[in-house]
Structure 1
Amino acid sequence: MAAISSLSFSALGQASERKVPVSATRSFVSNFDGFRFRTNYGSDSFVVQTSNSSSRMVIQCLSSVAGGVPTVSVPTVSDTKLNFLKAYKRPIPSIYNNVLQELIVQQHLMRYKRTYQYDAVFALGFVTVYDQLMEGYPDDEDREAIFQAYIKALKEDPEQYRNDAQKLEEWARAQNATSIIEFPSREGEIEGILKDISERAGGKGSFSYSRFFAIGLFRLLELANATEPTVLEKLCVSLNINKRSVDRDLDVYRNLLSKLVQAKELLKEYVDREKKKMEERVQSQKANEVVAKCLGEFQNGGAS
C-alpha cells in the first residue's frame, strides 16, 4: 500500500476535479452474483445466494454446522433489508440507496458471524464510512433517521454506535504518535476498550476482524495526527491485528469513497443544470404573462 498518509477521510469529502463518465455512479458498489463469508471456525458459515430476473432478486442467508444441521436461527439478509425499509419508508435517492443496500448486506454478514462481538472501534469505522457516504444528503434529519433505521434493522443500538464513536474521537484528538501506541501500559476507559480488543484478537475470546474495524483504526490515527505507516504497524502489533489486512481494506474503502465523491459531483452538476432549466422556464413563463397582460391592456384601451 502507498504511504498511509495518502488516505484522508476529510479529503474524500471534497469533489474530484476529474470528469468521469456517468457509469461511475454505479461503479462504486460491487455487483456480485454470489458471496460466501466463512468464519474462523470451519464448522460455521454464511452463504448468500442471489438470482436475478426481470421481476425480482432473491437473497438467502443460511447458518449451518458440519453435517448440515442448523444451529442458531438468524435473520436472513432479506429480513434485515425489510426491517430497514419498514423503519424508514421515505424514498432515498439512488446514488445513496445503492451504496446503503450494498453495505447492509455486508454488515448483516458481519453482524451474524459466529465470532462477531460489537466493539467501539468497529462502531467508529462504520460511523466514519456512513457519514462520508451520506455527506451532502439533502436533509440532515433524514440522514440521521436513515442511520437509526439502518442500525436498528441489524438489531443493534444506534445511540451506542454514535456515543462510542464520539468517545473514541475525543480520546484520539488528545493523543499523538507515541501515546496512541502506549495504551497497553496506561489506564482509562478507551485504553480498556483497546486492551479488551487486543486480548480477544489474540485468541482469548471472540473477535471478528472487518473492514469497518480497519477504518475505525485509521480514523484514530488520523485524529491523533499519527498517520505514518510505522505507527499503524506498531498499533496493529499491540492489537494483535494483521497489518496486511488493514492495508488492503483501507485501499478498498479509499477507492470506494473516491468513486462516490465523483458520482456525487456528477449528480450535483445534473441537479444544478435541471434547477437552472426550471428557473429559465419560470422566468420565460413570467415574461410571457407580462407581455400578454400588456397586450390585453393595450387592446382594451384601444377599444375604449
Structure 2
Amino acid sequence: MAAVTSVSFSAIAQSSSDRRAPFCTAARNFGFEGFRFRSSFSCHYVGVRASNSTSRMVIHCMSTSTDVPPTVAETKLNFLKAYKRPIPSIYNTVLQELIVQQHLMKYKKTYRYDPVFGLGFVTVYDQLMEGYPSDEDREAIFQAYIKALEEDPEKYIIDAKTLEEWARTQTPSSLVDFSSRDGEIEGILKDIAERAASGNFSYSRFFAVGLFRLLELSNTSEPTVLEKLCSALNIDKRSVDRDLDVYRGLLSKLVQARELLKEYVDREKKKQEERAESQKANETVAKCLGEPQFVGH
C-alpha cells in the first residue's frame, strides 16, 4: 500500500535595495517606482513501504518562477567591477543615484527600451559629466554604467546620434506631424504612440528629457509644440512638464557643484605649489649649510 503526501508553498521574492547616500532633492525625485517579483514552488513526497519493512522515499520537486532580476546591490557591484578607478564625489554621488533609479525602472514588467529614452539618458549623462577631467574616463564610465544594467551602450550612442540628426532637419510642424509620414524615426514615434494608447508604454523621466532634446534640436521654442507632440504620442504633458522641471533643477545644482569643485581644486593646486616652493627653499638652505666653507688667508 502506498502513502502519498503532497506539500506546496509559495514565496514572494522582493528585490533588495541598499541604503542610498544622501543627495539633493532634485536627484532623488529623478526616480521610479519599486517592483516585486513572485516565485512559486511545489514539492511532492511519495513514500513506498515494501513487505521486507524497508522503506524508501522518492521526492519529486517542481519549480515554476519568473526570471529573478539582479538586485540593486548586484547592479552597483557590476558597475564597480567594470570601472575600478576612483570617481570624484560630485560625479559619483549622482551616478550612484541614477543607476539605482534606472535599475528599478528597467526591471519593471512594463519596461521596454526605445530610442527617445536612449537619447534622454545620453543627454542627462553628457550634462552630468560635462567638465569631467578625462574624456577617455568619461567614455569608460558610460560603458560600465550601461553594461551594469545588462544593456548595450553602443545602441544608446547610435540611437541618440540618429535621433539628433533627424531632429535637426525638422520644423515644429513636421515634428508634431510624424504620424502622417514614413521613415525610420517616424516609425519609432508611431510605435510609441500606439503602445501609449494601449497602456503598454512605460513612461520615464529619461523619455521626457529625450522629447525636450528633440524640441531643442529642431529649434522649437513655442510651448504649444510640446503640448501637441505629447498629444500625438498619447503622453501626459503634465508628467513631462514636471519631470523637465526636475531635470532643470538638477542641472542647476550640478553647475553650482562644479563651481565649488573648481574652487576647491584651484585652492589645493595653490597649496601644493606653495608647499613645493617651501620644500625647494628648505632644500636649498640645507644644501648651503652642508657645504664646507672656505675662508681666504
TM-score (norm 2): 0.78
Query: In structure 1, what is the Cα distance between the partners aligned to 2:147 and 2:80?
Result: 11
**2:203 is matched by which residue type in structure 1?**
Y
**2:113 is matched by which residue type in structure 1?**
Y
**1:257 aligned partner:** 251
CA deviations on 1:50-104 (whole Å, 9 max, x unpaired) are xxxxxxxxxxxx4239xxx963321111121111111111111111111111101
Q: 1:37 aligns with which of 29, 33, 43?
A: 33
Q: 1:271 aligns with which of 260, 265, 269?
A: 265
**1:287 aligned partner:** 281
Classify 1:192/1:30 alpha carbon distance in 2 versus 1 (closer, same or farther; 3 Å). closer
Q: 1:192 aligns with which of 170, 175, 187?
A: 187
**Bigger Rg, which one:** 2
Query: In structure 1, what is the Cα distance between the partners aligned to 2:140 and 2:68?
Result: 28
**1:63 is matched by which residue type in structure 2?**
F
**1:85 aligned partner:** 80
- Superposed displacement of residue 291, structure 1: 4.1
**1:207 aligned partner:** 201
Query: In structure 2, what is the Cα distance between the partners aligned to 1:95 and 1:114?
Result: 32
Classify 1:198/1:303 alpha carbon distance in 2 versus 1 (closer, same or farther; 3 Å). farther
Query: In structure 1, what is the Cα distance between the partners aligned to 2:249 and 2:211?
Result: 18
What's the RMSD between the two structures over aligned residues? 2.4
Q: 2:242 aligns with which of 235, 239, 248?
A: 248
Classify 1:31/1:175 alpha carbon distance in 2 versus 1 (closer, same or farther; 3 Å). closer
**1:219 is matched by which residue type in structure 2?**
R
Aligned pair count reads 252
- Superposed displacement of residue 130, structure 1: 0.6
Q: Residue 176 in 1 paired to residue 165 in 2?
A: no
Query: In structure 2, what is the Cα distance between the partners aligned to 1:171 and 1:251?
Result: 25
Q: 2:104 aligns with which of 99, 104, 109?
A: 109
Q: Residue 132 in 1 paired to residue 127 in 2?
A: yes
Q: Residue 98 in 1 paired to residue 72 in 2?
A: no
Kindly indicate whether the alpha-carbon contact (under 8 Å) linking 2:32 and 2:101 is maintained by their aligned counterparts in 1: no
SS in 1 for 2:37: strand
- Identity, % of aligned pairs? 73
**1:262 is matched by which residue type in structure 2?**
Q
SS in 2 for 1:172: helix
Kindly indicate whether the alpha-carbon contact (under 8 Å) linking 1:218 and 1:227 is maintained by their aligned counterparts in 2: no
- Superposed displacement of residue 248, structure 1: 0.3
CA deviations on 1:1-46 (whole Å, 9 max, x unpaired) are xxxxxxxxxxxxxxxxxxxxxxxx94266569xx9826xxxxxxx1
**1:80 is matched by which residue type in structure 2?**
T
User: 1:64-79 alignment to 2 at 5 Å?
Assistant: 64=38, 71-79=66-74
- Superposed displacement of residue 294, structure 1: 4.7
SS in 2 for 1:260: helix
CA deviations on 1:176-227 (whole Å, 9 max, x unpaired) are 2122111111111111111111111111x73100000000000000011103
Query: In structure 2, what is the Cα distance between the partners aligned to 1:36 and 1:270?
Result: 33
CA deviations on 1:146-186 (whole Å, 9 max, x unpaired) are 11111111111000000000000111111121221111111
Kindly indicate whether the alpha-carbon contact (under 8 Å) linking 1:133 and 1:257 is maintained by their aligned counterparts in 2: yes
SS in 1 for 2:214: helix
Q: Residue 123 in 1 paired to residue 118 in 2?
A: yes
Query: In structure 1, what is the Cα distance between the partners aligned to 2:27 and 2:126?
Result: 20
TM-score (norm 1): 0.77
Query: In structure 1, what is the Cα distance between the partners aligned to 2:195 and 2:112?
Result: 10
Q: Tell which has more relative contact order, 1 or 2 (C-alpha 8 A, sep 6+).
A: 1
Classify 1:155/1:183 alpha carbon distance in 2 versus 1 (closer, same or farther; 3 Å). same
Query: In structure 2, what is the Cα distance between the partners aligned to 1:186 and 1:276?
Result: 59
Query: In structure 2, what is the Cα distance between the partners aligned to 1:30 and 1:182?
Result: 34
Q: Which runs of 5+ in 1 are unaligned?
A: 1-24, 39-45, 47-61
**1:259 is matched by which residue type in structure 2?**
K
Q: Which runs of 5+ in 2 are unaligned?
A: 1-21, 40-63
Classify 1:247/1:293 alpha carbon distance in 2 versus 1 (closer, same or farther; 3 Å). same
